[in-house]
Amino acid sequence: MVTPNRRRLRELEARARRVAIVRPDRFGLQTMKPSMTRLYYGWWIVGGAILCQFAFMSVSQAIVGVFMRPVIDDLGWKVWQFTLGSSLAVGAGAMTGIIAGNIVDSKGPRPLMLVGAVVSAACLLLLGRQSSLVVFLAIYVAAGLVGWNLFSPLVVNATLSKWFIRRRGWALAIGSIGISLSGLIAPFVMTTIVDSYGWRTGYSVLAVFVLIVVIPIAFVMRRTPEDYGLSPDGDTEVSSSSAGAASVAAEARSFTRAEAVRTRGFWLLIVGFGLNQTALTSVLVHAIPFATEVGFSRSMAATALAVNGFGNLASKVVWGYGLQRVEPRLLVIAAYSLSATGVVLMLIAATTGQVPVLLSGFLLYGFGFGGTIPLSEFLWAKYFGKSHIGAIRGVGYPITIVGTGLGPVLIGYWSDVSLTYQPAFIAIICAYLVGAVTVWVSREPSPR
């Protein structure tokens, strides 16, 4: 008797052996043998992921610190009240993630990205016109619920994991370059715009930017290579290729969402990656206020964030290369330890006033930060397969990013009460170290 799993495996093998016929679809995508001169379409997906993640990070996190002081000085708010907006957006996006993950698996990322771009642009325009804390918070909730989280790493990286298996490490590392570029470019550019033209103009510029970047990319994105007669990584012959056979085996052993949540590894990854998200987001949001509080200028603080972006960008080659050859849990320990060391140097710079120490701290923090997305997404796909990765990431997303929402608010409140960032930044160092240990003790679930 042929079991359902064996029948599914035979179907996949038969489909992979068929010769692909060149035939354009209505969007111009062609199904063809990768041996032809055309570039495997998955790399266009990687290019789209770079731009989407650049846009997401720029509007949701990288520029929060740039707007913080001008807005609270103009409107008379407190630090924790301003950071509450971005935290509420994170919380709202967590709820959206549960549905968005299912849509990525069934419909692909395009409809999500189109809706997210339009709503994000509208919310950013409104942020530049409001003067009420209640309205400010309501707009952020809307932006997080059906705005920029619809073109976030959750959406684009779940798609990348479907298009690549053998080269997944490189694809995720290259795709996350957008996160690095946002840290390198967005704070510096937006600081110049806000300081020259005001924070209200700054929000309007961001709205136009989202429309110009995200909408065209949405039409490039596709759900899976199998929809177009292609195989992950561009492989064709399953029976004659060990890599192709591995691709088939990986799809056949993919966990469903219900199966994944019953494993120990699922919950350990959530806790470990959640602590990392808490730490890195808290530093990113409060970097400019932290630097200016201890005596550095806003331009120097923006430069420090740009150095963070440079470290983030430079690290991609290291993480991409490492994921193809090194145990990924070891890489997680390395990344989190580097970021923790960077925060230690920031605290030293706060007491000594030395610019090189400050910049070195942000460089190491950024280098470790650069491993966040490729390492986490690689481990999720490695543990649970690609077929239902959107749904699995979606159900885990709300828990993983609880700290992302609460962290910046708690750090802001702590700094308001203690009149210094130092105790809160020590807690951030501890979060990095505990997160590294938690991921290390996780293990890949046994095949079903």
Q: Which of 182-191, 197-206, 328-337, 391-400 has the lowest mean pLDDT?
A: 391-400
User: How many angstroms separate the CA atoms of 305 and 298, rounded?
Assistant: 11
| In the predicted structure, residue 31 carries a pLDDT above the cut 50 | no
Percent above pLDDT 70 for the chain: 87
Question: Is the predicted pLDDT of residue 119 greater than 50, yes or no?
Answer: yes
**Shortest CA distance to 160 belongs to which of 144, 140, 178?**
178
Q: What is the pLDDT of residue 165?
A: 84
Q: Model confidence at 66, in pLDDT bands (50, 70, 90)?
A: confident
Rounded CA separation 18/25 (Å): 18
Of 49-63, 248-262, 330-344, minimum mean pLDDT range: 248-262
Helix or strand holding residue 366 (H, E): helix 355-369
Residue 444 has pLDDT above 90, yes or no: no
Residue 69 pLDDT > 80: yes
pLDDT at residue 289 is higher than 70: yes
Mean pLDDT is highest, among 156-165, 182-191, 192-201, for 192-201
Residue 24, φ and ψ in degrees, nearest 5: -70, 145
Above 60 in pLDDT, residue 250?
A: no
Alpha-carbon distance of 319 to 308, in angstroms, equals: 16
d(CA 334, CA 308): 17
Specify the pLDDT at position 241: 45
Spell out the residues 6+ positions from residue 225 whose beta carbon is closer than 8 angstroms to its own: 41, 42, 162, 163, 231, 232, 234
pLDDT band at 24 (very low <50, low <70, confident <90, very high): very low
Measured CA to CA in angstroms, residue 156 lies from 151, 279, 423 at distances of: 7, 23, 36
Instruction: Give me 205's structure tokens.
Output: 């510029």
367 residue type, one letter: F
- Assess whether pLDDT exceeds 50 at residue 25: no
**Per-residue pLDDT at 440:** 94
Q: What is the pLDDT of residues 411-421, one digit of tens each?
A: 777 777 777 78
- Say whether pLDDT at 104 is over 70: yes
**Residues with Cβ within 8 Å of residue 161, at least 6 apart in sequence:** 168, 172, 377, 380, 381, 386, 389
pLDDT at 21: 36
Domains of the chain: 42-221+253-441 (1.20.1250.20)
Task: Kindly report the pTM of this predicted structure.
Answer: 0.69
Find, among 33, 175, 22, the residue nearest to 109 by Cα.
175
The answer to whether 432 and 336 have CB atoms below 8 angstroms apart is yes
Q: How far is CA 7 from CA 4, 73, 128, in A?
A: 5, 65, 57
Mean pLDDT for the chain overall: 82
Q: Is the pLDDT of residue 10 over 70?
A: no
pLDDT of amino acid 91: 78
Q: What is the pLDDT of residue 11?
A: 56
**Measured torsion, CA atoms of residues 443, 340, 292, 91, in degrees rounded to the nearest 10:** 10
